[in-house]
A and B are shown apart, each in its own frame.
Chain A
Amino acid sequence: MFRLGLIINPVAGMGGPLGLKGTDGEEILELVLKKGALPQAPSRAAHVLKALSQEKDKICLLTCPGPMGADTASQCSMPFETIPLEINQKTLPEDTRRAAKMLQESSVDLLLFVGGDGTARDIGAAVGERQLCLGVPAGVKMHSSVFALSPHHAAEIALGLIKGRRPQPRLAEIMDIDEEAFRADQLRARLFGYLPVPGSQRGLQVLKAGSSASEKAKQQAIAAFFVEEMDPNRFYLIGPGTTTRAILQALGQIGTLLGVDALQDGKIMGKDINENDCLAFLDQAGFEQATIVVTPIGGQGFILGRGNQQLSAEVVRRVSKKQILVVATPDKLQLLRGSPFRLDTGDPELDRQLCGIYRVLTGYRESAYYRAEL
């Protein structure tokens, strides 16, 4: 039996129709409820469960009580067990976290969660990188790449797993924005972590490529090329991400997944450094002797300003465009579906200047030249 965990964040997405840029925080939720907003997530969850019910004999569905799962599951002719979780009358983020933890401890093969970026953050905080997850999009904000494209896709991916497919998991970004700033029309996204998701999240296309190399092996190939080309006299600011982390691992260094590390001659000179540290390192090394290494956000293509705010406009302004090196596996580039890289340093003039062509390391002795646009 395939052990499937399901968490529905019943309030996810409710702020959207009211023009609110999220439904996070008790105050906003009160406002949403007062204005009579209707839940969005249960119908999306039902869509997935109905699609999965064709294989219900193979599924052991574990879900949360009431609006966080059981209410919807009971309407979908899908047998299920409810985990012994006490939830608040108005569900809160800690309910999601406790549910995720409990389902992980119940050894679910896949944890499906229905919500938005806020929900993804709660799931990530609870289960870290040790639980295969998949987001069913239902939130107002959908910046994370842990979500399937639609409930259709989520059901399809889950069905594949239920039928025995075992694609290599890949770590997908959990992104969220600063909601207070967002409601003031300032968009600032942060990288909050990673969740393992089924490898071929966009359907079967990676399979058709006949590639047997895992995403990890491809990242290692990029790292090997980087190390081969590395100039020991140069100073590198290595941005967050699993591809950039592979570079540090290839050098035997332990970097930070979510932070920026400074590297010279194969050694980490500064770990998890902030904007000021970056500026200090650049001053010390000489601007021309520095290279910034970044990887795009999966499916969205932001190379600056989302998830790597330490590499601020002030930092980026001190180097030339040619000193920004992008690393990305071919799969990651292809997931952009032809869209260019995006820029969001917070300085529109700088973003404009940074538009153009970037060199991208894509494999061992393989690279691409790829366009960035606003």
Chain B
Amino acid sequence: MRAKTKIRDFHQARWNEPIIFDLSTPGERGILLPEIEPEVEASAGGALDELPGDLKRSNPPGLPEMAQMRVLKHYLRLSQENLGADLNVDIGQGTCTMKYSPKINEQFAASPQLSGLHPAQNEDTVQGTLEIMYQLEQFLKAISGMDRFSLQPGGGSHAILAIVSMIRAWVDDRGLSDTKDEIITTIFSHPSNCAVARTKGFKVINIYPDPKTGRPDLEAFKEAVSERTAALLITNPEDTGIYNENIKEFTDLVHAHGGLCSYDQANANGIMGITRAANAKFDFCFFNIHKTFSSPHGCGGPGCGGVGVKEHLIPYLPVPLTSFDEANNRYYLDYDVPKTIGKIKDYYGVIPAIIRAYAWIRSLGAEGLLEAARVAVLNNNYILNRIRAMKGAEAPYAEGEHRIEQVRYSFQPLKEETGCGFDEVQRRICDFMCHLWSSHEPFVVPEPFTIEPTESYSREEIDEYLAALEKIIEEAYTNPDVLKTAPHNSSIHHIAEHEYLDDPKLWAVTWRMYNNRFEGYFEPKKEQQ
């Protein structure tokens, strides 16, 4: 830690703000519309007259009734009560690639020139947008080595769905439906790979990591591959941040058995300009455009999963593609895809994510992308070395090796030695204006946490985060109650345990459901019968 690294004396805003429905006052309005003039009404009819009767509500919706100023204050207060990406050090949200999205890119995406477009406009009037889509595809082709891309999917899992739909179509097309019915994936690949494969009617085989190296167990993989293998869906590096340098051996083996290979590059932040899917002989790949390229992951609006394929699979891509007619010097939406899996998203896909990615790539250039990847890897390994030295934390697998863009760590020693594990650290770190994500399955790594610094964070911010972690670990050994009763400086104090997530009977996913089941904020009204 640098001498100047200080832990911030932080306290979050606390407004004790009610839910907006509780703020409603009957009759209060934001805007009072003038009565329609009688002559206008006589000429044009009532606003709802042309709506079919069975589409009209019999009762007005139960929306909150508030004046504008109160609405503004309500949402500003709420915004001060969260740890947004523009406020906190977000490197604890590993796997999500929480990089800084330059504000100018946000302005492009929100510009009236774009937001004013109607998706059903004539193609000739949206040539600029189509050109951006076309050019972004060329960039992605260069980055991956693939031959064509579809930007239609609205996120990573949607991209996986598109890919496995193409695998299904490819298998059926060859009359192999009965014989090629298995898909192999790894336990540390994103669980959507397994889930989508099942959704599309394949049997799924999971490969666990080699206990020492953390890489997918090659021997197990060899046992799993057979003539029944339709495809391999794999991430590399996986959430452990360990790069599988034997990846081509995996793809070669699948190809030798007549299967296809798909590379889940949802997070490609550590390998841009360094490795390419095509070089490892993948038939498919996808990028989370909204994650690696400019936009931070999650809650930043809808995403975009760009799906790339090699030449032999272009006929299966979802429609429309964006093509260029050289003879007429115009871009157009191309529906001429003979074996397409069809349309999977409305209109053009998610244009704001595409615009941001285009702007980000253009601003960095090829050298800049490579530099971003290198800095992300450097940041990550700096953190890895610091955390390896922390008592109570460990980085399972691949001892002594470098990692790529993130690491799945474990607080298991801390838990065993102090009784404080991930949950306690997660709550306590809010007191230092930082965030730590619980990480997802597989829980092969106990008390897991994942840190991914990306290229955006400075050494000072990384040091601040690590200083907070060190302080919390020290507290766990000397005064664990501080952790167990945390957070102390946050907008909300220690909230209910996770059982609300575990029991569907306690779920309240709408306000109406919440009202029916609970009173207060977090206390159950009564046991559900």
Residues of A within 8 A of B (CB): 51, 149-150, 152-153, 155-156, 160, 163-167, 200, 202-210, 212, 330, 333-334, 336-340, 356-357, 359, 362, 365-371, 373
Contact = CB atoms under 8 A, between A and B. Distances in A.
8 shortest interchain CB distances as A-B pairs: A369-B220, A152-B419, A165-B499, A205-B443, A207-B502, A368-B206, A365-B203, A207-B498
Given A164-B499, A334-B443, A152 B198 contact: no
B444 interface: yes
Given A164-B499, A166-B499, A371-B210, 12 more contacts: A51-B419, A160-B497, A209-B440, A212-B504, A330-B442, A337-B444, A338-B396, A365-B198, A368-B205, A368-B206, A369-B217, A369-B220
A203 B447 contact: yes
B426 to A, nearest CB: 11
Main secondary structure of the interface of A (DSSP, over half): mixed
Contacts of A210: 501
B187 interface: yes
Contacts of A359: 223
Given A208-B438, A337-B445, A338-B211, A163 B223 contact: no
Contact of B446 (A152, A205, A333, A367): A205
A132 to B, nearest CB: 16
Interface string B201-216: 0111111111100000
B209 A338 contact: yes
B501 A208 contact: yes
Contact of B502 (A152, A153, A167, A370): A167
A212 B503 CA distance: 7
B497 A204 contact: yes
Contacts of B223: 357, 359, 369
A167 B502 CA distance: 8
Given A152-B415, A357-B223, A204 B498 contact: yes
Contacts of A336: 444
A212 B203 CA distance: 22
A200 B421 CA distance: 15
Given A166-B503, A208-B498, A368-B207, A203 B194 contact: no
A369 B446 contact: no
B498 A369 contact: no
A294 to B, nearest CB: 17
A337 B415 CA distance: 15
B286 interface: no
A51 B208 CA distance: 37
A150 B417 CA distance: 10
B441 interface: yes
29 contacts: A153-B415, A156-B419, A160-B499, A163-B497, A167-B499, A202-B446, A203-B415, A203-B423, A205-B447, A205-B448, A206-B502, A208-B501, A209-B443, A334-B444, A338-B397, A357-B217, A357-B223, A365-B198, A365-B203, A366-B206, A367-B203, A367-B205, A368-B187, A368-B205, A369-B208, A369-B220, A369-B221, A369-B223, A371-B211
Contacts of B497: 160, 163, 165, 204
B502 A362 contact: no
A205 to B, nearest CB: 4
Contact of A333 (B205, B208, B445, B448): B208
B124 interface: no
Interface in B487-529: 497-499, 501-504, 524
Contacts of B194: 366
B54 interface: no
